[in-house]
Structure 1
Amino acid sequence: MEQPSTSLVIEKIQDLLLDTQDVEDFLNELATYSAENLSGPRGEVLCGITLLRHRTAATVASSGDRARLLDELQYEYGDGPCLQCAREGVLVHIRDFRTETLWPEYAATVLNHGIRSVLAVPFELSGDDAKAGINLYSDRPGAFDANAVEHALSYVSQASKGMRLAVRLAQHSDTAANLKAALDSRTVIDTAVGIIIGQNRCTQDEAMDLIKSASSTRNVKLRDVAAAIVESAGGGTLTTHFS
Protein backbone atom coordinates (compact mmCIF):
# COMPACT_ATOMS: atom_id res chain seq x y z
CA MET A 1 0.00 0.00 0.00
CA GLU A 2 1.34 3.40 -0.98
CA GLN A 3 1.94 5.64 1.99
CA PRO A 4 0.08 8.99 1.90
CA SER A 5 2.11 12.19 2.16
CA THR A 6 2.41 14.15 5.39
CA SER A 7 0.07 16.86 4.11
CA LEU A 8 -2.60 14.31 3.18
CA VAL A 9 -2.42 12.68 6.63
CA ILE A 10 -2.73 16.03 8.40
CA GLU A 11 -5.60 17.05 6.10
CA LYS A 12 -7.42 13.77 6.76
CA ILE A 13 -7.09 14.12 10.54
CA GLN A 14 -8.31 17.71 10.36
CA ASP A 15 -11.33 16.49 8.38
CA LEU A 16 -12.02 13.85 11.04
CA LEU A 17 -11.95 16.52 13.75
CA LEU A 18 -14.40 18.68 11.83
CA ASP A 19 -16.74 15.92 10.67
CA THR A 20 -17.20 13.85 13.84
CA GLN A 21 -19.80 14.69 16.47
CA ASP A 22 -17.72 14.26 19.62
CA VAL A 23 -14.36 13.15 20.99
CA GLU A 24 -15.31 9.47 21.14
CA ASP A 25 -16.38 9.43 17.49
CA PHE A 26 -13.19 11.22 16.45
CA LEU A 27 -10.95 8.75 18.29
CA ASN A 28 -12.71 5.72 16.80
CA GLU A 29 -12.44 7.23 13.32
CA LEU A 30 -8.77 7.96 14.02
CA ALA A 31 -8.17 4.34 15.05
CA THR A 32 -9.88 3.06 11.90
CA TYR A 33 -7.95 5.46 9.66
CA SER A 34 -4.69 4.55 11.44
CA ALA A 35 -5.26 0.84 10.83
CA GLU A 36 -5.86 1.53 7.13
CA ASN A 37 -2.90 3.86 6.85
CA LEU A 38 -0.44 1.60 8.65
CA SER A 39 -1.45 -1.68 7.02
CA GLY A 40 1.00 -2.65 4.30
CA PRO A 41 2.58 -5.37 2.19
CA ARG A 42 2.88 -7.63 5.23
CA GLY A 43 -0.84 -7.62 5.81
CA GLU A 44 -3.63 -5.84 7.64
CA VAL A 45 -3.00 -4.41 11.10
CA LEU A 46 -5.46 -3.86 13.92
CA CYS A 47 -5.33 -0.62 15.90
CA GLY A 48 -6.17 0.31 19.49
CA ILE A 49 -5.54 3.61 21.27
CA THR A 50 -4.62 3.45 24.95
CA LEU A 51 -5.06 6.53 27.14
CA LEU A 52 -3.55 6.88 30.61
CA ARG A 53 -5.28 9.46 32.85
CA HIS A 54 -5.41 9.75 36.63
CA ARG A 55 -3.31 6.55 36.88
CA THR A 56 -6.00 4.62 35.02
CA ALA A 57 -5.53 3.03 31.60
CA ALA A 58 -8.32 2.58 29.11
CA THR A 59 -8.75 1.77 25.45
CA VAL A 60 -10.51 4.90 24.23
CA ALA A 61 -10.79 3.79 20.61
CA SER A 62 -10.15 0.84 18.34
CA SER A 63 -10.46 -0.19 14.73
CA GLY A 64 -12.72 -3.05 15.81
CA ASP A 65 -13.79 -5.38 18.61
CA ARG A 66 -10.76 -7.63 18.21
CA ALA A 67 -8.30 -4.76 18.64
CA ARG A 68 -10.16 -3.56 21.73
CA LEU A 69 -10.04 -7.05 23.23
CA LEU A 70 -6.30 -7.32 22.63
CA ASP A 71 -5.74 -3.99 24.38
CA GLU A 72 -7.97 -4.84 27.32
CA LEU A 73 -6.25 -8.19 27.91
CA GLN A 74 -3.23 -6.21 29.09
CA TYR A 75 -5.24 -4.48 31.79
CA GLU A 76 -6.13 -7.88 33.24
CA TYR A 77 -2.43 -8.72 33.54
CA GLY A 78 -1.51 -5.24 34.72
CA ASP A 79 1.16 -4.69 32.07
CA GLY A 80 2.09 -5.28 28.47
CA PRO A 81 3.67 -3.60 25.46
CA CYS A 82 0.94 -0.99 24.99
CA LEU A 83 0.77 -0.08 28.67
CA GLN A 84 4.55 0.31 28.80
CA CYS A 85 4.43 2.44 25.67
CA ALA A 86 1.81 4.83 27.05
CA ARG A 87 3.23 4.88 30.59
CA GLU A 88 6.88 5.48 29.67
CA GLY A 89 6.47 7.25 26.35
CA VAL A 90 8.64 4.73 24.50
CA LEU A 91 8.25 2.68 21.35
CA VAL A 92 7.69 -1.01 22.09
CA HIS A 93 8.13 -3.57 19.32
CA ILE A 94 7.43 -7.27 19.76
CA ARG A 95 8.53 -9.04 16.59
CA ASP A 96 7.12 -12.44 17.54
CA PHE A 97 5.11 -13.34 20.63
CA ARG A 98 6.35 -16.93 20.33
CA THR A 99 9.78 -15.75 21.50
CA GLU A 100 8.61 -12.98 23.87
CA THR A 101 9.92 -13.39 27.45
CA LEU A 102 9.01 -10.09 29.14
CA TRP A 103 5.24 -10.72 29.36
CA PRO A 104 4.94 -14.52 29.00
CA GLU A 105 1.33 -14.83 30.25
CA TYR A 106 0.09 -12.01 28.03
CA ALA A 107 2.10 -13.39 25.11
CA ALA A 108 0.50 -16.82 25.51
CA THR A 109 -2.94 -15.25 25.59
CA VAL A 110 -2.55 -13.12 22.47
CA LEU A 111 -1.06 -16.09 20.62
CA ASN A 112 -4.30 -17.91 21.37
CA HIS A 113 -6.05 -15.01 19.66
CA GLY A 114 -3.87 -15.40 16.57
CA ILE A 115 -1.62 -12.37 17.13
CA ARG A 116 2.09 -12.78 16.43
CA SER A 117 3.54 -9.23 16.54
CA VAL A 118 2.76 -5.77 17.92
CA LEU A 119 4.12 -2.26 17.53
CA ALA A 120 3.17 0.37 20.13
CA VAL A 121 4.06 4.01 19.48
CA PRO A 122 3.53 6.84 22.00
CA PHE A 123 1.62 9.98 21.05
CA GLU A 124 3.35 13.30 21.70
CA LEU A 125 1.20 14.88 24.42
CA SER A 126 3.72 17.26 25.96
CA GLY A 127 2.18 19.62 28.48
CA ASP A 128 -0.73 17.29 29.27
CA ASP A 129 -1.11 15.06 32.31
CA ALA A 130 -2.52 12.37 30.05
CA LYS A 131 -0.35 9.85 28.20
CA ALA A 132 -1.36 7.80 25.19
CA GLY A 133 -0.10 5.28 22.71
CA ILE A 134 -1.27 3.72 19.46
CA ASN A 135 -1.13 -0.08 19.38
CA LEU A 136 -0.76 -2.00 16.12
CA TYR A 137 -1.37 -5.74 16.03
CA SER A 138 -0.61 -8.23 13.26
CA ASP A 139 -1.35 -11.90 12.70
CA ARG A 140 2.11 -12.28 11.17
CA PRO A 141 5.50 -12.51 12.89
CA GLY A 142 7.93 -9.77 11.92
CA ALA A 143 5.13 -7.72 10.38
CA PHE A 144 6.77 -4.43 11.31
CA ASP A 145 10.10 -4.10 9.50
CA ALA A 146 12.32 -1.02 9.64
CA ASN A 147 10.26 0.78 6.98
CA ALA A 148 7.00 0.01 8.79
CA VAL A 149 8.42 1.28 12.09
CA GLU A 150 9.67 4.47 10.46
CA HIS A 151 6.28 5.00 8.79
CA ALA A 152 4.45 4.44 12.09
CA LEU A 153 6.69 6.93 13.91
CA SER A 154 6.14 9.55 11.21
CA TYR A 155 2.39 8.94 11.15
CA VAL A 156 1.96 9.16 14.93
CA SER A 157 3.99 12.37 15.00
CA GLN A 158 1.53 13.85 12.49
CA ALA A 159 -1.52 12.47 14.32
CA SER A 160 -0.38 13.69 17.74
CA LYS A 161 -1.77 17.20 17.27
CA GLY A 162 -5.24 15.82 16.73
CA MET A 163 -4.83 13.52 19.71
CA ARG A 164 -3.72 16.43 21.93
CA LEU A 165 -6.80 18.39 20.94
CA ALA A 166 -9.07 15.41 21.61
CA VAL A 167 -7.58 14.90 25.08
CA ARG A 168 -8.00 18.57 25.94
CA LEU A 169 -11.61 18.57 24.74
CA ALA A 170 -12.26 15.53 26.92
CA GLN A 171 -10.64 17.26 29.91
CA HIS A 172 -12.78 20.37 29.37
CA SER A 173 -15.86 18.15 29.17
CA ASP A 174 -14.90 16.48 32.45
CA THR A 175 -14.35 19.87 34.07
CA ALA A 176 -17.74 21.11 32.91
CA ALA A 177 -19.43 17.95 34.20
CA ASN A 178 -17.71 18.28 37.59
CA LEU A 179 -18.67 21.96 37.83
CA LYS A 180 -22.29 21.18 37.01
CA ALA A 181 -22.33 18.46 39.69
CA ALA A 182 -20.90 20.92 42.22
CA LEU A 183 -23.48 23.55 41.30
CA ASP A 184 -26.30 21.01 41.52
CA SER A 185 -25.14 20.04 45.02
CA ARG A 186 -24.93 23.69 46.05
CA THR A 187 -28.47 24.31 44.76
CA VAL A 188 -29.92 21.39 46.73
CA ILE A 189 -28.07 22.35 49.92
CA ASP A 190 -29.09 26.01 49.69
CA THR A 191 -32.72 25.00 49.12
CA ALA A 192 -32.64 22.66 52.13
CA VAL A 193 -31.18 25.45 54.27
CA GLY A 194 -34.05 27.71 53.21
CA ILE A 195 -36.61 25.04 54.13
CA ILE A 196 -35.09 24.55 57.60
CA ILE A 197 -34.99 28.33 58.19
CA GLY A 198 -38.67 28.54 57.29
CA GLN A 199 -39.65 25.59 59.44
CA ASN A 200 -37.53 26.37 62.51
CA ARG A 201 -37.17 30.16 62.29
CA CYS A 202 -33.41 29.81 62.76
CA THR A 203 -30.39 31.48 61.18
CA GLN A 204 -28.65 30.28 58.03
CA ASP A 205 -25.65 29.05 60.03
CA GLU A 206 -27.90 27.12 62.43
CA ALA A 207 -29.74 25.51 59.52
CA MET A 208 -26.44 24.48 57.92
CA ASP A 209 -25.23 23.05 61.24
CA LEU A 210 -28.37 20.90 61.42
CA ILE A 211 -27.70 19.45 57.96
CA LYS A 212 -24.04 18.80 58.80
CA SER A 213 -25.00 17.12 62.06
CA ALA A 214 -27.49 14.84 60.27
CA SER A 215 -24.87 14.01 57.64
CA SER A 216 -22.30 13.07 60.29
CA THR A 217 -24.74 11.10 62.46
CA ARG A 218 -26.14 9.06 59.57
CA ASN A 219 -22.81 8.80 57.71
CA VAL A 220 -24.57 10.12 54.61
CA LYS A 221 -23.29 12.71 52.14
CA LEU A 222 -24.30 16.30 52.81
CA ARG A 223 -25.99 16.54 49.41
CA ASP A 224 -28.07 13.41 50.05
CA VAL A 225 -29.30 14.74 53.41
CA ALA A 226 -30.23 18.02 51.75
CA ALA A 227 -32.00 16.23 48.89
CA ALA A 228 -34.05 14.21 51.38
CA ILE A 229 -35.10 17.42 53.17
CA VAL A 230 -36.16 19.04 49.88
CA GLU A 231 -38.06 15.93 48.79
CA SER A 232 -39.88 15.62 52.12
CA ALA A 233 -40.97 19.25 51.75
CA GLY A 234 -42.45 18.49 48.33
CA GLY A 235 -39.67 20.09 46.34
CA GLY A 236 -38.95 17.04 44.21
CA THR A 237 -35.64 16.67 42.38
CA LEU A 238 -33.76 19.92 41.80
CA THR A 239 -31.40 20.71 38.95
CA THR A 240 -29.23 23.69 38.16
CA HIS A 241 -29.52 25.48 34.84
CA PHE A 242 -25.97 25.40 33.51
CA SER A 243 -24.45 25.94 30.10
Structure 2
Amino acid sequence: MDPADAFAELGRIRLGEVDLADVLQRVADLAKQTVPDALEVSVTLVRVDGAQTAAFTGELARELDEWQYAQDRGPCLDAATSGGNLRVPDVTVEERWPVWADRARAAGVGSSLSVGLPIQQAVVGALNLYAERPHAFDDEAVSLAGTFAGYAAVALANAHLYDSTAALARQMQAAMSSRAVIEQAKGIIMGQRRCSADEAFAMLAKTSQETNSKLRDVAASLVRRVSPGS
Protein backbone atom coordinates (compact mmCIF):
# COMPACT_ATOMS: atom_id res chain seq x y z
CA MET A 1 0.00 0.00 0.00
CA ASP A 2 1.18 3.51 -0.75
CA PRO A 3 2.11 5.24 2.54
CA ALA A 4 0.04 8.31 1.66
CA ASP A 5 -3.07 6.13 1.22
CA ALA A 6 -2.39 4.34 4.51
CA PHE A 7 -1.99 7.56 6.46
CA ALA A 8 -5.09 9.02 4.79
CA GLU A 9 -7.06 5.98 5.92
CA LEU A 10 -5.80 6.41 9.47
CA GLY A 11 -6.69 10.09 9.32
CA ARG A 12 -10.32 9.21 8.55
CA ILE A 13 -10.67 7.29 11.83
CA ARG A 14 -12.55 9.28 14.45
CA LEU A 15 -10.61 8.46 17.59
CA GLY A 16 -13.44 9.41 19.93
CA GLU A 17 -15.88 7.08 18.19
CA VAL A 18 -13.76 3.94 17.71
CA ASP A 19 -12.60 1.45 20.32
CA LEU A 20 -8.87 1.69 21.11
CA ALA A 21 -8.32 -1.99 20.28
CA ASP A 22 -9.83 -1.45 16.82
CA VAL A 23 -7.59 1.56 16.18
CA LEU A 24 -4.46 -0.31 17.20
CA GLN A 25 -5.45 -3.29 15.06
CA ARG A 26 -5.91 -1.00 12.06
CA VAL A 27 -2.49 0.55 12.71
CA ALA A 28 -0.91 -2.92 12.77
CA ASP A 29 -2.74 -4.03 9.60
CA LEU A 30 -1.79 -0.92 7.64
CA ALA A 31 1.83 -1.06 8.83
CA LYS A 32 2.07 -4.62 7.55
CA GLN A 33 0.64 -3.57 4.19
CA THR A 34 2.84 -0.48 3.90
CA VAL A 35 6.30 -1.14 5.38
CA PRO A 36 8.34 -3.21 2.88
CA ASP A 37 9.20 -6.75 4.01
CA ALA A 38 6.99 -6.61 7.12
CA LEU A 39 5.89 -10.22 7.56
CA GLU A 40 3.89 -9.66 10.75
CA VAL A 41 3.23 -6.62 12.97
CA SER A 42 2.11 -6.24 16.57
CA VAL A 43 1.51 -3.52 19.15
CA THR A 44 2.86 -3.99 22.68
CA LEU A 45 1.34 -2.09 25.61
CA VAL A 46 3.06 -2.05 29.00
CA ARG A 47 1.01 -1.06 32.05
CA VAL A 48 1.65 -1.31 35.77
CA ASP A 49 0.18 -4.81 35.83
CA GLY A 50 2.37 -6.05 32.97
CA ALA A 51 2.76 -6.17 29.20
CA GLN A 52 0.31 -7.39 26.60
CA THR A 53 -0.01 -7.56 22.82
CA ALA A 54 -2.95 -5.27 22.10
CA ALA A 55 -3.02 -5.95 18.35
CA PHE A 56 -1.29 -8.36 15.98
CA THR A 57 -1.52 -9.42 12.35
CA GLY A 58 -0.49 -13.05 12.90
CA GLU A 59 0.28 -15.63 15.54
CA LEU A 60 4.02 -15.43 14.89
CA ALA A 61 4.14 -11.82 16.13
CA ARG A 62 1.99 -12.56 19.16
CA GLU A 63 4.04 -15.59 20.17
CA LEU A 64 7.39 -13.78 19.86
CA ASP A 65 5.98 -10.86 21.87
CA GLU A 66 4.60 -13.07 24.62
CA TRP A 67 7.86 -14.96 24.97
CA GLN A 68 9.49 -11.62 25.78
CA TYR A 69 6.82 -10.83 28.38
CA ALA A 70 7.35 -14.18 30.06
CA GLN A 71 11.12 -13.63 30.22
CA ASP A 72 10.77 -9.91 31.02
CA ARG A 73 13.29 -9.00 28.34
CA GLY A 74 13.48 -8.41 24.61
CA PRO A 75 13.48 -5.68 21.95
CA CYS A 76 9.78 -4.81 22.14
CA LEU A 77 9.94 -4.31 25.93
CA ASP A 78 13.13 -2.26 25.74
CA ALA A 79 11.69 -0.10 22.95
CA ALA A 80 8.51 0.47 24.95
CA THR A 81 10.48 1.46 28.04
CA SER A 82 12.98 3.72 26.27
CA GLY A 83 10.63 5.13 23.64
CA GLY A 84 13.36 4.60 21.04
CA ASN A 85 13.87 2.46 17.96
CA LEU A 86 15.46 -0.98 18.32
CA ARG A 87 16.52 -2.89 15.23
CA VAL A 88 17.63 -6.50 15.18
CA PRO A 89 19.28 -6.57 11.73
CA ASP A 90 20.12 -10.27 11.80
CA VAL A 91 18.85 -12.67 14.45
CA THR A 92 21.66 -15.12 13.71
CA VAL A 93 24.28 -12.74 15.13
CA GLU A 94 22.14 -10.88 17.70
CA GLU A 95 23.99 -10.56 21.03
CA ARG A 96 21.68 -8.32 23.11
CA TRP A 97 18.87 -10.88 23.36
CA PRO A 98 20.48 -14.13 22.15
CA VAL A 99 17.89 -16.53 23.55
CA TRP A 100 15.01 -14.56 22.05
CA ALA A 101 16.93 -14.31 18.76
CA ASP A 102 17.29 -18.11 18.64
CA ARG A 103 13.56 -18.45 19.16
CA ALA A 104 12.83 -15.88 16.46
CA ARG A 105 15.14 -17.66 14.00
CA ALA A 106 13.42 -20.96 14.71
CA ALA A 107 10.09 -19.30 13.94
CA GLY A 108 11.36 -18.15 10.54
CA VAL A 109 12.23 -14.55 11.40
CA GLY A 110 15.43 -12.99 10.03
CA SER A 111 15.19 -9.47 11.45
CA SER A 112 12.91 -7.23 13.50
CA LEU A 113 12.18 -3.61 14.32
CA SER A 114 10.51 -2.24 17.45
CA VAL A 115 9.54 1.43 17.62
CA GLY A 116 8.61 2.94 20.98
CA LEU A 117 5.33 4.80 21.16
CA PRO A 118 6.05 8.46 22.02
CA ILE A 119 3.85 8.61 25.10
CA GLN A 120 4.73 8.53 28.80
CA GLN A 121 1.56 8.30 30.87
CA ALA A 122 -0.14 5.37 32.54
CA VAL A 123 0.91 3.12 29.66
CA VAL A 124 3.88 2.84 27.29
CA GLY A 125 4.25 0.64 24.26
CA ALA A 126 5.94 -0.28 21.01
CA LEU A 127 5.09 -1.10 17.41
CA ASN A 128 6.86 -4.32 16.42
CA LEU A 129 7.64 -5.49 12.89
CA TYR A 130 9.04 -8.91 11.97
CA ALA A 131 10.60 -9.88 8.64
CA GLU A 132 11.73 -13.16 7.07
CA ARG A 133 15.02 -11.91 5.67
CA PRO A 134 17.93 -10.31 7.56
CA HIS A 135 18.51 -6.56 7.24
CA ALA A 136 14.96 -6.00 6.07
CA PHE A 137 14.34 -2.67 7.77
CA ASP A 138 16.36 0.29 6.50
CA ASP A 139 16.11 3.93 7.59
CA GLU A 140 13.07 4.50 5.37
CA ALA A 141 11.30 1.59 7.00
CA VAL A 142 12.12 3.00 10.44
CA SER A 143 10.67 6.37 9.39
CA LEU A 144 7.48 4.75 8.08
CA ALA A 145 7.09 2.63 11.22
CA GLY A 146 7.64 5.75 13.33
CA THR A 147 4.71 7.46 11.67
CA PHE A 148 2.45 4.50 12.39
CA ALA A 149 3.73 4.42 15.97
CA GLY A 150 2.94 8.11 16.31
CA TYR A 151 -0.65 7.54 15.26
CA ALA A 152 -0.98 4.66 17.74
CA ALA A 153 0.37 6.98 20.45
CA VAL A 154 -2.25 9.61 19.62
CA ALA A 155 -4.97 6.97 19.91
CA LEU A 156 -3.56 5.87 23.28
CA ALA A 157 -3.37 9.45 24.55
CA ASN A 158 -6.94 10.05 23.42
CA ALA A 159 -8.16 6.91 25.20
CA HIS A 160 -6.23 7.83 28.35
CA LEU A 161 -7.75 11.32 28.35
CA TYR A 162 -11.24 9.88 27.88
CA ASP A 163 -10.76 7.40 30.74
CA SER A 164 -9.37 10.12 33.03
CA THR A 165 -12.23 12.48 32.21
CA ALA A 166 -14.83 9.75 32.73
CA ALA A 167 -13.26 8.76 36.06
CA LEU A 168 -13.25 12.39 37.22
CA ALA A 169 -16.91 12.76 36.22
CA ARG A 170 -17.81 9.63 38.22
CA GLN A 171 -15.91 10.94 41.25
CA MET A 172 -17.65 14.32 41.05
CA GLN A 173 -21.06 12.66 40.71
CA ALA A 174 -20.36 10.48 43.75
CA ALA A 175 -19.19 13.51 45.74
CA MET A 176 -22.33 15.49 44.83
CA SER A 177 -24.51 12.54 45.77
CA SER A 178 -22.75 12.20 49.14
CA ARG A 179 -23.10 15.90 49.84
CA ALA A 180 -26.81 15.83 49.03
CA VAL A 181 -27.61 12.96 51.41
CA ILE A 182 -25.51 14.54 54.19
CA GLU A 183 -27.42 17.81 53.79
CA GLN A 184 -30.68 15.86 54.01
CA ALA A 185 -29.55 14.15 57.20
CA LYS A 186 -28.47 17.47 58.70
CA GLY A 187 -31.90 18.91 57.96
CA ILE A 188 -33.58 15.98 59.70
CA ILE A 189 -31.41 16.38 62.81
CA MET A 190 -31.95 20.15 62.88
CA GLY A 191 -35.70 19.60 62.77
CA GLN A 192 -35.67 16.94 65.46
CA ARG A 193 -33.12 18.51 67.82
CA ARG A 194 -33.78 22.18 67.14
CA CYS A 195 -30.07 22.73 66.62
CA SER A 196 -27.80 24.55 64.16
CA ALA A 197 -26.36 23.08 60.96
CA ASP A 198 -22.90 22.86 62.55
CA GLU A 199 -24.27 21.01 65.56
CA ALA A 200 -26.18 18.62 63.32
CA PHE A 201 -23.03 17.87 61.32
CA ALA A 202 -21.08 17.31 64.55
CA MET A 203 -23.67 14.71 65.62
CA LEU A 204 -23.34 12.90 62.30
CA ALA A 205 -19.55 12.96 62.54
CA LYS A 206 -19.64 11.60 66.10
CA THR A 207 -21.92 8.72 65.07
CA SER A 208 -19.60 8.02 62.14
CA GLN A 209 -16.61 7.74 64.46
CA GLU A 210 -18.39 5.66 67.08
CA THR A 211 -19.74 3.16 64.55
CA ASN A 212 -16.61 3.19 62.38
CA SER A 213 -18.80 3.98 59.38
CA LYS A 214 -18.47 6.45 56.53
CA LEU A 215 -20.21 9.76 57.10
CA ARG A 216 -22.24 9.30 53.93
CA ASP A 217 -23.45 5.86 55.07
CA VAL A 218 -24.54 7.24 58.46
CA ALA A 219 -26.43 10.05 56.75
CA ALA A 220 -28.07 7.70 54.24
CA SER A 221 -29.18 5.37 57.05
CA LEU A 222 -30.84 8.25 58.89
CA VAL A 223 -32.60 9.47 55.74
CA ARG A 224 -33.92 5.97 55.03
CA ARG A 225 -35.29 5.61 58.59
CA VAL A 226 -37.38 8.74 58.40
CA SER A 227 -38.44 8.44 54.77
CA PRO A 228 -42.09 7.54 54.13
CA GLY A 229 -42.57 3.82 53.56
CA SER A 230 -39.17 2.87 55.00
**Could you state the TM-score of these two structures normalised by the residue count of structure 2?**
0.70
Residue 190 of structure 1 aligns to which amino acid in structure 2? R
Counterparts of 2:210 and 2:51, CA distance in 1: 39
Q: RMSD across aligned C-alpha pairs, in angstroms?
A: 3.7
Does the Cα contact within 8 Å between 1:48 and 1:68 map onto a contact in 2? yes
Aligned partner of 2:126 among 129, 133, 136: 133
Residue 31 of structure 1: aligned partner? 28
Quick one: distance in 2 between partners of 1:184 and 1:213? 27
Residue pairs, 1:1-243, within 5 angstroms = 4-5=2-3, 7-17=4-14, 21-40=18-37, 45-52=39-46, 57-110=51-104, 113-125=107-119, 129=121, 131-138=124-131, 140-142=132-134, 144-145=135-136, 148-190=137-179, 193-194=182-183, 197=186, 203-208=200-205, 210-211=207-208, 214=211, 217=212, 222=214, 226=216, 230=220
Deviation at 1:76, TM superposition (A): 2.0
- Quickly say closer, same or farther: Cα 1:63–1:210, change in 2 above 3 A: farther
Q: CA deviation at 1:71?
A: 2.1
- Aligned mates of 1:33, 1:67 — CA distance in 2: 15
Q: Greater CA radius of gyration, 1 or 2?
A: 2
The offset of 1:39, in angstroms, is 4.5
Give the aligned residue type for 1:4. Answer: D
Cα distance change of structure 1 residues 160 and 46 upon mapping to structure 2, 3 Å threshold: closer
* Residues 66/186 of structure 1: CA separation in 2 closer, same or farther (3 Å cut): farther
What letter corresponds to residue 25 of structure 2 in structure 1?
A: N
Give the Cα separation in 2 of the matches to 1:19 and 1:62.
Answer: 22
1:162-190 deviation per Cα after TM superposition (whole angstroms, max 9, x unaligned): 23431221121121232133124324533
Where structure 1 has 5 or more consecutive residues not aligned to the other structure, the ranges are: 236-243
After superposition, the Cα gap between the structure-2 partners of 1:211 and 1:36, relative to the gap in structure 1 and judged at 3 Å, is: farther
1: distance between equivalents of 2:48 and 2:145?
23
Q: TM-score, normalised by structure 1?
A: 0.67
Q: Helix, strand or coil for the counterpart of 1:134?
A: strand
Q: Percent same amino acid at aligned positions? A: 21
* Superposed displacement of residue 230, structure 1: 4.3
Give how far 1:84 is off.
0.9
Structure 2: segments with no counterpart, 5+ residues: 191-198, 226-230
Q: Distance in 2 between matches of 1:213 and 1:178?
A: 32
How many pairs align? Answer: 216
Q: Which amino acid aligns with 1:28?
A: Q
1:33-68 CA-to-partner distances (Å, cap 9, x unmatched) read 11121243xxx5111122345695443332245433
